[in-house]
Amino acid sequence: AQALEIGERLPELPLHIRTPGQRVLLVMGPTEGDPAKAVLDELRVPYEQVASFDKDREDYSGVFAIVAGSNSMDYFGQADNRDPEAFQHIRKFVSDGGHLFLFGSFNGRHMGNIDKFGMRIGNKQNSYVVREEGHTDVLFHGLEDQIPEDLAIRSCGHIGMAVDYVSMLNRGKGFHEGLTALTTIPVDKGRVSLTMIEPYYRDSMWILPVAIHWVIRGAPTTMKQLDQPPVVDVITFRELQASSQMSLEESKQKILRSQIIKGMNVPKIGKDERPARLLAAADKSDSLEEKYVLLRMAADAFAEVGNADGAFTTLLAACNMFKTDRIAEQVRLLKRAAEMGKTKEVATENARLALDNIASAVEAYRFDEAWNFVQLARSESEKAGNERYQRLAGEYLVELEPKYAGWRKVSRTFDKWRANPEDPQANFEVGQFLAFVAEDWEMGLQCLRHGSDASLQDVVKLADTNQDSALGKVRLADAWMRYAKQLPSPERKAIERRAQHWYRDALEDLSGLSLAEQTRVKRLAERTSSTAAKISISLDLAGYGDLEFRADSLTWTTVSGAVPEEIQIDDQVWDLTQNTQLKNSGSTRYLPSSVDLRTIKLRQKKGRGIVRVQEVTNEVVRVRVSDVPSGNDTYEFELLFGQ
């Protein structure tokens, strides 16, 4: 057993933190999925469930953890999915900060992709697990009454560790006694955890809720971490992620840059050849500091030849080594690439990159750089003559202008608030901006709880305690409506949208309200203070399938028949052969983020079958498109929101 554990056992890992509203992705069938969802419902953690992995899914934004059930890795044993590249998006999810928790596959089959994390899977069976001192009590915390006394499981394979790790549970008597049975490791900004136990197999199901609770608590590895909150605001989240990286002093960077320029005789290298030469030198370098500087120089070299995409990709590799102001550097590189680019194709790519990076700047409260991205998107799309990108840039300009103006007013207060998070006046001003202007309610309410406005604190207290019943939701919505009356139009409308959110939530269960009150709530819920929008959709279909709308994405699922090659959404062509999920952001945005999906109305314009709204919840809207059993037909329909 010792020979299989080359890596050393670590005393602890940092807590895996997340931001409010992030969800869990369950990759499992109903046998394991139903009890997993029951736990998440009890903990009030949002989730989505899929039956298997999807190698074409690139977008995991909003997901903080993937929990994959028994034999889920069999997907990567299918003929079309055996190429290691099929696992690339999962690797990126982890590298970017996600937590991948895997249950085992029978005898470790089809789990070769895990080797790249330094985990070696084998088929030596063992039906017993034992505690690891200092760690298993953390894993079982709060669930001790659900743990079998003998910790019996039903025969699982073994794990060999080639990297340093924390063992949360060990193998008991039998093959490879003492080897880790549930291991967790850091990978770049994220975490990978693995056990070869298969919950659905006989009486091993007890491990499933244990794992779910542990993941939701931030995968703690020590008892002291149980007192640390795994959910933090966006600013703290980004700071904690960045704090795990060291800084490389500017003076040292300048020295290294001078040495590289002299040693490689960089000025003598042609501009077109320079990026590749610098990348090759970075690849060969054994010094992390030199590698970082070479990558930064290569990013600059890409920008000098108008290749912003190459510059961004190279910059991101450097950002994983030392602290870097990624957003500011992206703006700088994109501006330079725009100056050097001479063709419409280059301008189109620059506009796409600018659009695709607006959201990340806004999420980091870098409204100045978000504004720069919008301006670049507008100028480059005009240079390219790309009408769709011009339209999107114009929409983002209108949306961002009040946020940018508001941010400029409170930017100095932001600095005061960061220096003293307990300052009541700073909390009030920053909280007002975040909630009523930026419409970041989670973060805004955190500030307003400690703000100097007593009447506003009363509303926030209602927000903390009145979200479980229809009556409580109505009281909260009414309180927001009363407070909104004293504010100017932009802020008032933002608060009215928030109030309407709670009125609509209350519609799900109006029991306990009088008939007159039910009528009033229904009337208020139907008001159109939410953003109005319309999209036109067309596709050629043989069979039937679902369009699943979420706030951040749109997914097509074929239920029966052939997968459509493409779907036209207004002036955008969605190529389903490349990706069955479309991101509602940047260059692929199809709806404003402030649209309330629950206000959906459908108008079918063409098609021999039926198009209908199948499901409407707080999290998802599902539209079913059904063709008749034989042949195919073209379907055209409109979706209207907030009208």
For the chain, what are the domain ranges? 2-232, 250-409, 411-525, 533-641
Q: Are residues 559 and 544 in contact, defined by beta-carbon separation less than 8 angstroms?
A: yes
Question: How many residues appear in the chain?
Answer: 643
Measured at the CA of 628, the angle between CA 625 and CA 630, to 5 degrees, comes to: 130
Distance CA 428, CA 82 (A): 54
Q: Work out the pLDDT band at 2, boundaries 50, 70, 90.
A: very low
* CATH assignment of 250-409, among 3.40.1440, 1.25.40, 1.10.287, 3.40.1000: 1.25.40
Chain centroid to Cα 212, Å, comes to: 18
pLDDT digits (tens, 9 = 90+) for 89-148: 999 999 989 999 999 887 677 788 888 888 888 767 666 788 999 999 999 999 998 888
Q: Per residue, what are the HEC states of 238-264?
A: HHHHHHCCECCCHHHHHHHHHHHHHHH
One-character DSSP codes across 452-503: S-HHHHHHHHHHHH-SSSHHHHHHHHHHHHHHHTTS-HHHHHHHHHHHHHHH
Alpha-carbon distances of 176 from 4, 124, 127, rounded to whole Å: 9, 8, 11
Q: Are residues 124 and 179 in contact, defined by beta-carbon separation less than 8 angstroms?
A: no
**Of residues 460 and 611, more confidently modeled:** 611
> Of all helices (H) and strands (E), which one includes residue 24?
strand 23-27
Of 246-255, 260-269, 377-386, 419-428, give the lowest mean pLDDT range: 419-428
pLDDT of the residue at 239:
64
Distance CA 548, CA 538 (A): 15
- Return the percentage of the chain with pLDDT > 70, whole number: 94
pLDDT digits (tens, 9 = 90+) for 371-424: 999 999 999 999 999 999 999 999 999 999 999 999 999 989 988 887 777 788
Among 35, 31, 37, which Cα is nearest to 49's?
37
Edge-to-edge, what's the strand order for the sheet holding 166-171? Answer: 47-50, 23-27, 63-68, 99-102, 190-195, 180-187, 166-171, 119-131, 152-161
Among 258, 262, 325, 267, which Cα is nearest to 293's?
258
Sign for the pseudo-dihedral over CA of 412, 416, 422, 425? negative
- Tell me what the mean pLDDT of segment 329-334 comes to: 97
Among 315, 321, 365, which Cα is nearest to 336's?
315
Report if pTM > 0.85: no
Task: Tally the C-alpha atoms within 13 A of residue 73's C-alpha that lie toward its C-beta.
Answer: 24
Among 454, 459, 451, which Cα is nearest to 423's?
451
Strand partners, 549: 554, 621
pLDDT digits (tens, 9 = 90+) for 543-566: 999 999 998 899 999 999 999 999
Strand partners, 541: 633
Distance CA 600, CA 615 (A): 11
Is it true that 2-232 and 250-409 share their CATH fold? no
pLDDT digits (tens, 9 = 90+) for 411-460: 899 888 877 777 889 989 999 999 999 888 888 888 888 888 888 888 88
Contacts 24+ apart (CB under 8 A), 345-349: 345/384, 346/306, 347/380, 347/381, 347/383, 347/384, 347/386, 348/380, 348/381, 348/384, 348/386, 348/389, 349/308, 349/309
Of 67-71, 326-330, 489-493, give the lowest mean pLDDT range: 489-493
Of 33-37, 402-406, 516-520, give the lowest mean pLDDT range: 516-520
pLDDT of the residue at 619:
80
- Tell me what the mean pLDDT of segment 215-226 comes to: 95
- Return the percentage of the chain with pLDDT > 90, whole number: 55
Which residues have C-beta within 8 Å of that of residue 479, sequence separation ≥ 6?
A: 458, 459, 462
- Tell me what the mean pLDDT of segment 145-158 comes to: 75
pLDDT of the residue at 159:
85
Superfamily per CATH, domain 2-232: Class I glutamine amidotransferase (GATase) domain (3.40.50.880)
